[in-house]
Structure 1
Amino acid sequence: MIRVVLAEDQALVLGALSALLSLEGDLEVVGTAPDGEAALSRVRELRPDVLVTDIEMPKLSGLDLAAKVKEEGAGVRVIIVTTFGRAGYLRRALDVGASGYLLKDAPASELAEAIRRVHAGGRAIDPHLAAEAWGEQDPLTERERQVLRQAEGGASTAVIAAQLHLSEGTVRNYLSEAISKLGAQTRVEAARSAREKGWL
Structure 2
Amino acid sequence: MESPNSDSLQGAVEEYGPRTDHRDIAAGYAAAVGAISASVLYIASVWVIDSSLFTLEWNPYFTALEFYWVVYSSLAGLVVTIPAAFLVGVAGERLSPSKTKSSGMLKGAVGTVATYAVAFVLLSALLFVTGAGSTGTGTALFTAVELAGLIVGVGFALTWWLTIPIGCAVGCVYTTRQSATSS
Q: TM-score interval w.r.t. the shorter chain?
A: under 0.3
TM-score, length-normalised on structure 1?
0.23
For normalisation by structure 2, the TM-score amounts to 0.24
State which structure, 1 or 2, has the greater radius of gyration over its C-alpha atoms. 2
The structure where helix makes up a greater share of residues is 2
More strand by percentage: 1
Q: Which structure is richer in relative contact order (CA contacts within 8 A, separation 6 or more)?
A: 2
